[in-house]
Every structure is written in structure tokens, then in C-alpha cells.
Amino acid sequence: MFENLSEKLQATFSKLARKGRLSESDVDAGLREVRLALLEADVNYRVVKDFIARVRERAIGAEVAKSLTPAQQMVKIVHEELIALLGQPAKLNLSGQAPHVIMLVGLQGSGKTTMAAKLALYLRRDGHKPLLVAADPYRPAAITQLEVLGRQLGIPVHAEDVRTRPEEVAARAVKMAAGGAYSVVILDTAGRLQIDDEMMDELERISRLVHPREVLLVADAMTGQEAVRVAEGFHARLGLTGLILTKIDGDARGGAALSIRSVTGVPIKFLGVGEKTDALEPFHPDRLASRILGMGDVLTLIEKAEALFDEEQARKMEQKLREASFDLEDFRQQLREVRKMGPLQQVLEMIPGFSQVSRQLPADLPEKQLKRIEAIIDSMTPAERRDPQILNGSRKRRIAMGSGTSVQEVNQLLHQFRDMQRLMKQFSSGRGRGLFSLFQ
């Protein structure tokens, strides 16, 4: 029923009167939803618990900014705390003497081999001379896989017989690179379970031999509650320097990133966003935070709305809502403001509460249609816009002509507008904040 956390919070808070501050009970009601959202996103249970406690402390008694509703204030605090926890994006540390060794580690199937190729391509574009090293003699054809990728990219791959121990392969590759031909060495190690002592010993041996500048945990965005223990396991043995989250191009919310971050403290360095070798993206804490909360880009919208609508305007709008005197003139003005924020459909989808109204409208209200709506409203006289009641047959024909539409379309718009007015009345009388809550 509810699409995302914002809407849930909106619903929770719509029962409350607008107040200057968030009370303890407001906060607790809101935090129940936040807790659920985080658990659904696979953030570890204990990490969620700590997080909620911290947010609670900050939120109780917090002043609700004039431009925001209590729900938005709550979202804002949660979002800010989440961003703080996710930390700032960090670049690869390639300081000191070349060749720099980057070691990729992680569970089986997390995407290390593909990531090794992506990093090599990324670094080459950045002016480095990368060497890929196949240090996984266990998984059938893992070496071939890296060789194929290297060949596709024209990036050299150091590989040896499957019977050679990976630490020897790695050490030889680094020694070779030290000759000056390569500036970065990327080690693709075999996937392993953090509870597999022998295999973890192997990683330690490799690390001791090649002194990696970066030890990056490659983790699948779909990872569940165990992410914390996996990360702890690798961190305790190897001292991770960063995290890469893969397969984020799916619909996983990626709560594992938060779990891993909070138990290891290492920065998130990249996101893997596809199977192609250039599908590598830097990490944006704000975007990942919104994703984990399951609320798309609504926060960007809050910011944009805050910037666009000055308080004076918002106050007037609220008044109109209360008096239910919102007319086509106001509607036109709102449409224009909203359109400044981006492509309409995207904007509509981003507005919590509005999605209820937008469901009344054609599902895929395209820009073109919006232009027609604007044209229709533009063709009305100010008096007509203020009081659409006076629109009789001949006025409608004139408007249709003037806007290059049909009487049918004019009727349709009027009909939709009446629906909208009705909905708004419900919102304003129910003390809820609907359509324009964002703009107050």
C-alpha cells in the first residue's frame, strides 16, 4: 500500500497535529517505520538497534523546520544520520612507491573477478599501468575468466599453473611489476568463507608477501544479516582498507553496506553497477542512504522544494488549502514550480502523498500532456481560472480552439481538477498534509 518510508512516515504523522517540535511519542511512532525499513533493507539487526537509539536521541525535541512537516523533519534526521554512518566516499590510496598492490577479497560469487577487470580499466583510464593477477587456482576456469577479460581490455594478466600456490603467483607478479612495467597490481583472489581458517591463512600469507596498499572487501549488495560477521572475519585477518559493493544495479536495497561500514569502519570505495567492465561507479552516500531507506530520490526533492518555494508562498498556499480556495490559477503556478524541478513524471513519483493524487491521473502522464494542460489553462481568462464553474459550452469551445485541444480534453481537465480539489479538501480537513505538504 505504501510505497516507501516517506509515505509511511507521512501517514504516521498525518494523525498528529502540526507542532513546533518532535515529541517523544512522535519520534517513537516514526522510528518504528524506520526500523522496519532498515530491516527490510537487510541492515543487521544489531546495527539497526544502535542506529535507532542514536536517531532517537537526536530527534526527540528537535525543532521542525518551518519549511518541513514533522514527517519530513524525521526523514531528514534519519537520512543525515545514515549518511554520516555511511561515511564519505574514498579514493583508492595509491600513495608511496609503485607498484601499488590492490588485493580483492570476499565470499564466493561476490564478483571479485569482474571487479578486478573493472578496476584495471578504471585505473588505466586514470593513467596507470595495471597488471591483473590470477590468484584463484581453485574455482574451475577462474584463471581463464580473468585472462579472457584481460584480453578483451588489452590489459596484461599474470597467471600460472593451477598447481602453483597463489602466494607464490602473487609475489612473482609483484616482483615483475617492480621492474617498472606496471604501476598497479590487482590481485584477484579466490572466494572463500570467513569461517574457513585454512583459506583465511592463505590470504594472510599473500598479504604478508606483497604488502598490499589496498585490501578491498568485495561484497554482494544482496547480502543479508551475515554481512557483519563476514566483514569482521576478513577485517580481523587482513585489515581491510575499503569496501566495494557489487550488483547494485538490481533492486537490492544494499543494507549490507551499512552493516559492513559500521562494524569495520572502512570506507566504501566503489559500486559495481553491471556486468560490463565499465560498469563501475563512485559511491554517493546520500543516494545509497535513500536507497537503503527505500525512498528513491524523495530527499533530493525535499531539498529542491525547500529551495524553490519561499515561505511566503508556502504560507499562502497553506491558507488556500485550508480554505479550499485552491483554483486553476494556483494550479498553474504550482505546475510551473514543479516543472522547474525536473521531468514531470519523475517529480510526481518523488512526491509522497502526491502519488495518491497522481494515481487519479493517467498512469504515464507525459510531458506532452502536461504541455496541453498548461495550454488549456493558459487559454482561460483569469476569471475562468479563479472560478471554473462559469465555464459553459461556448467558453469551453473557445478554450479548446485557443489551446489547440478539444472540448473533451478541456472537460477532462476540469474533471480531474475537481477530483484533485476534493482530495485536497480531505487532506486539509483531516489535518493531514497531502499534495502540498512538501511545499510548506
Partner 1 sequence: MFLRRAKSIQESLTKTRRSFFGRLATSLFGRGDLDEAFWDELEESLILADVGVDVTLEVVGNVRRRAEERAMRKASEVEGILRQELVRILSQNQQPYLPGVRDLSVVLVVGVNGSGKTTSIAKLAHYHVARGDRVLLGAADTFRAAAIDQLRIWADRARVDIVAHQPGADPGAVVFDTIQAARARGANVVIVDTAGRLHTKHNLMAELQKIRNVAAKQVHQAPHEVLLVVDATNGQNAIAQARVFGEAVGVTGVVVAKLDSSAKGGVILAIARELGLPIKFVGTGETLDDLAPFDPEAFVAGLFEPVAEEA
Ligand X SMILES: Nc1nc2c(ncn2[C@@H]2O[C@H](COP(=O)(O)OP(=O)(O)OP(=O)(O)O)[C@@H](O)[C@H]2O)c(=O)[nH]1
Contacts with partner 1, residue ranges (CB under 8 A): 36, 39-42, 44-46, 107-111, 138-142, 144-149, 152, 193-195, 220-226, 229-230, 233, 247, 249-253, 255-256, 275
Interaction with ligand X in 380-409: which residues (CB under 6 A)? none
Q: Which of 149/217 has CB closer to partner 1?
A: 149
360 binds ligand X (CB under 6 A): no
- Minimum CB separation of residue 275 from ligand X in Å reads 9
**Shortest Cβ 190–ligand X spacing (Å):** 7
- Measured from the CB atom, is 280 or 373 closer to ligand X? 280
In this complex, which beta carbon is closest to ligand X, that of residue 249 or of residue 329?
Answer: 249
Specify whether the CB–CB gap between 184 and 100 falls below 8 A: yes
Q: What are phi and psi of 220, to 5 degrees?
A: -75, 130
Which residue, 72 or 189, has its beta carbon nearer to ligand X?
A: 189
The answer to whether the beta carbons of residues 357 and 351 sit under 8 Å apart is no
Applying CB under 6 A, what is the total number of residues that bind ligand X?
5
Check binding of 109 to ligand X (CB under 6 A): yes
Residue 233 interacting entry, from ligand X, partner 1, none, C-beta within 5 to 8 Å by type? partner 1
Question: 118, 119, 36, 85: which is closest to 260 by C-alpha?
Answer: 85
> Could you say whether residue 139 binds ligand X (CB under 6 A)?
yes
Q: In which order are the strands placed within the sheet that holds 268-272?
A: 157-158, 130-135, 184-189, 100-105, 214-220, 242-246, 268-272, 280-281
Decide if residue 193 touches ligand X (CB under 6 A): yes
Residue 300 near which of ligand X, partner 1, none (CB within 5-8 Å, type-dependent): none
- DSSP line for 116-168: HHHHHHHHHHTT--EEEEEE--SSTTHHHHHHHHHHHHT--EE---TTS-HHH
Give CA separation, 46 vs 78, 79, 185, in Å. Answer: 17, 18, 37
Cβ–Cβ < 8 Å for 302, 68: yes
Residue 250 makes contact with ligand X by CB under 6 A: no
Output 171 or 199, the one with its CB closest to ligand X. Answer: 199
Helix (H) or strand (E) holding 216: strand 214-220
Which stretches of the chain bind ligand X, using CB under 6 A?
A: 108-109, 139, 191, 193
